[in-house]
Amino acid sequence: MSSSREKGGKTRVATYHALESVFSARWFLLLRDSLIILAIIVLLLAPILYLGKYAITDWWEIDFNVFNHPVIHSTRWEAIKNSLILSFKLALYATLLDVALGIPVAIALQKDIPGRRILDTLVNVPLATPTSALGFATLIFWGTRAGIGGILGLQTGLFSLDELVGGNIFGFPPLLLLAHVSFTFPYIVRSVSAVLEGIDVTYSEAAQTLGAKSFTRFRTVTLPLMAPGVFAGAILAFTRSLGETGASIIVAGVFVTAPILVVEWKAEVLIASAAFLSIILVVLACISIFVFRKLMGAAFARAL
C-alpha cells in the first residue's frame, strides 16, 4: 500500500514538473501573449475599426441624412450636437456629485462604525442591478406620487420627465441626473476605498502629533494621497455615465442623450448615421480618458 502511494506521489510530482516546464517555456509565453493580443484586437478593436470603415464607405448616406437632407436639412446634425452637449453635461454633473458623495462614504467604510457591512453591501447594489431597473426605480420614487411626492403630500412627483433645472445652457433634467448618479457613484467609492486601504496611517498620526486638526490632516495628508483613486473613479464614472442607455431611456422623457439617439436612429434604419454618432462617442470617450489620465498622473506625482 505504501509503495503504491509513493508511486502515485512521484507521478503527481513528475506531472507538476512537466506542466511547470511547459507553462514556463518561451514558446508557451509567446503563445499566451499572442492570444491575449488577438483577443483584444478581435473583441475590442475590430468592431470599432469596422464601425469607422462602415461610416467612411457610407459617407454619402451620412452626408445626405445628417448634413444635407432636402427636407429637414441639417436638423439631424443639430440633434447630434444637442445630444452630445446633454450627455457631457450629465456625465460631468454626475461625476461631481459622485465625488462629493463617494469620498465621505469611502472614508466611512474604512472606520469601524455601526452598520459598516450593510453600507458596504448597499454600495455594491447599483453595480449588480440592471440600469433599466435603477432608472425605473428613480422614476417611481422621484417622479410620481407613489414615491417621495406622496410622502411630501404633493399631487405629483417631486420632479417631472420634462423638467429642466438651471436654464438652457447649464441646465439638466433632474431625473436623468439622479438616475446617472445612482449607478456611477459606486465607482468612486470602490476606487477611493482601494487607495485608502493602502495609505500608511503613520502620515496622519505624525501630522496629529505636530498638532494638526482633523480637517487639516484630511486636507494636507489624506486627500493628496487618495487623489489617484478619486481620478481613477472619476474616469470610470464619467465614461459610464456618458455611454448609459438603459436608465436614460426610462427617465429621459422629452430629452435625448447621444446613446438614446443612436438607439432611435438604429430603430429608424439610419444605420450609417447611427454609426457616425457612435464613432463620435468613441472618439470623445477616448479623449476624455486621455485627459483624465493626464490629470491623474499629475495628481499622483504631487501625492508622492
Within this chain, do residues 127 and 39 fall inside the same structural domain, yes or no? no
What's the total number of domains in the chain? 2
Q: Does the pLDDT value for residue 302 go beyond 60?
A: no
267: Cβ contacts below 8 Å, ≥ 6 apart:
none
What range does the domain containing 17 cover? 2-50
What's the alpha-carbon Rg for the chain, to the nearest Å? 26
Mean pLDDT score of the chain: 82
111: Cβ contacts below 8 Å, ≥ 6 apart:
none
Q: What is residue 45's DSSP assignment? A: I
> pLDDT by residue (tens digit) across 24-48?
778 878 888 888 888 888 888 888 8
Q: Does the pLDDT value for residue 181 go beyond 90?
A: yes
What is the DSSP annotation of 71-87? Answer: TTBTHHHHHHHHHHHHH
The reported pLDDT for the residue numbered 153 is: 82
pLDDT bin (cut points 50, 70, 90) of residue 177 is very high
212: Cβ contacts below 8 Å, ≥ 6 apart:
220, 221
Within this chain, do residues 30 and 159 fall inside the same structural domain, yes or no? no
Within this chain, do residues 40 and 75 fall inside the same structural domain, yes or no? no
Within this chain, do residues 46 and 114 fall inside the same structural domain, yes or no? no
Sign for the pseudo-dihedral over CA of 292, 295, 299, 300: positive
Q: What is residue 172's DSSP assignment? A: B
Q: Alpha-carbon distance 109 to 120, whole Å? A: 7
Q: What is the pTM of this model?
A: 0.81
Written as nine digits, the cell of 189 is: 467609492
Within this chain, do residues 34 and 161 fall inside the same structural domain, yes or no? no
Within this chain, do residues 37 and 78 fall inside the same structural domain, yes or no? no
CATH (domain of 240): 1.10.3720.10
Instruction: Answer yes or no: is 64 within a domain.
Output: no
The alpha helices in 154-222, defined as continuous H runs, are 167-170, 174-197, 201-209, 214-217
> pLDDT by residue (tens digit) across 123-138?
888 888 888 899 999 9
Within this chain, do residues 36 and 90 fall inside the same structural domain, yes or no? no
Written as nine digits, the cell of 155 is: 399631487
Q: Alpha-carbon distance 240 to 259, whole Å? A: 11
Within this chain, do residues 186 and 227 fall inside the same structural domain, yes or no? yes
Written as nine digits, the cell of 150 is: 406622496
The reported pLDDT for the residue numbered 5 is: 57
Q: Alpha-carbon distance 163 to 174, whole Å? A: 7
β-bridge partners, 69:
73
Q: Does the pLDDT value for residue 6 go beyond 70?
A: no
Q: Does the pLDDT value for residue 52 go beyond 60?
A: yes
For 195, other C-beta atoms within 10 Å of its C-beta total 19
CA distances from 291 to 213, 234, 241, 286 (A): 34, 11, 17, 9
Within this chain, do residues 134 and 168 fall inside the same structural domain, yes or no? yes
Task: Give me the residue label for grid cell 427636407.
Answer: 71
Q: Does the pLDDT value for residue 211 go beyond 50?
A: yes
Q: Does the pLDDT value for residue 304 go beyond 50?
A: no
β-bridge partners, 73:
69
Q: Does the pLDDT value for residue 3 go beyond 60?
A: no
Residue type at 259?
P
Q: Alpha-carbon distance 137 to 102, whole Å? A: 21
> pLDDT by residue (tens digit) across 244-267?
888 899 998 888 999 999 999 989
Within this chain, do residues 84 and 46 fall inside the same structural domain, yes or no? no
